[in-house]
């Protein structure tokens, strides 16, 4: 009789535990409740520094190569029509021993499930939330230019750049467009652009290749660049502006 009572008590406890872990149990909070907003990092007083490598093509076999450093500083927020934005101070220098010089002022904000960067007075829809690799969105939705569909290539995955590995990063395909000549024999234009953002850091890599190839004369159909631009921006440092030496 005693053994039967103990068995029934054990069965009751098991049943109670099973019920308590059902649908009514509180769910564990997600690691990123905003599902990607921390990748577009706008914490005041933060800075990011980049090495920039740029080639500007002006004609066949004529180009200028530029190498310099870029620094972005996130200023305090300001509010317009109830929407909070941040001023982004952009400074440049030729080499690490030179002083930083102000290059331009951008602004950025996160609103209504999207991240917006206003670059040279042009608002660009850089990210949408929650992040999902099946999502597509128009980068130019807010500026009236021709639609440009972006997509996430990856999310919350490691990304290695040089000797650094960012454990949580997301890669965005800004454009992947190639135009062929009428005969379909050669590429005449290439527009390949990607951006990579790391959690709680922001942009860590930007690579743009927008070039037009020679299509007439001896250089035709050989993918020889006639005009355009190649731009590579890679993160080299980040931190807080009030830290010593920053």
In the chain, domain spans:
39-237
Q: Could you report the per-residue pLDDT of 158-181, keeping only the tens digit for each?
A: 999 999 999 999 999 999 998 766
pLDDT over 60 at 16, yes or no: no
Read off the pTM: 0.84
Taking a C-beta distance cutoff of 8 angstroms, is the pair 103, 90 a contact?
A: yes
Tokens 């850089």, located at residue: 126
Percent of the chain with pLDDT over 90: 70
Using an 8 Å Cβ cutoff, are 152 and 135 in contact?
yes
CATH, domain range 39-237: 2.40.360
Length of the chain: 246
Residue 142, classed as helix, strand or coil, is coil
């Amino acid at each position: 009789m005693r053994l039967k009572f103990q068995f029934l008590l054990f069965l009751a406890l098991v049943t109670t535990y099973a019920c308590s872990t059902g649908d009514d149990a509180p769910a564990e909070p997600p690691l990123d409740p905003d599902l990607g907003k921390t990748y577009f990092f706008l914490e005041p007083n933060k800075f990011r520094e980049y090495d920039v490598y740029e080639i500007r093509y002006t004609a066949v076999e004529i180009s200028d190569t530029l190498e310099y450093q870029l620094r972005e500083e996130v200023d305090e927020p300001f509010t317009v029509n109830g929407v909070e934005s941040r001023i982004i101070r952009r400074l440049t220098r030729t080499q690490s021993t030179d002083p930083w010089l102000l290059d331009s002022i951008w602004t950025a904000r996160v609103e209504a499930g999207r991240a917006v960067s206003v670059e040279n007075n042009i608002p660009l829809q850089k990210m949408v939330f929650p992040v999902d690799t099946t999502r597509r969105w128009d980068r130019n939705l807010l500026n009236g230019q021709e639609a440009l569909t972006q997509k996430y290539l990856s999310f919350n995955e490691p990304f290695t750049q040089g000797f650094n590995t960012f454990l949580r990063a997301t890669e965005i395909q800004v454009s992947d467009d190639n135009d062929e000549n009428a005969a379909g024999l050669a590429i005449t234009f290439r527009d390949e652009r990607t951006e990579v953002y790391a959690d709680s850091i922001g942009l860590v890599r930007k690579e743009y290749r927008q070039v037009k190839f020679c299509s007439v004369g001896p250089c035709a159909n050989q993918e020889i660049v006639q005009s355009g631009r190649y731009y590579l921006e890679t993160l080299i440092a980040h931190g807080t502006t009030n830290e010593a030496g920053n």
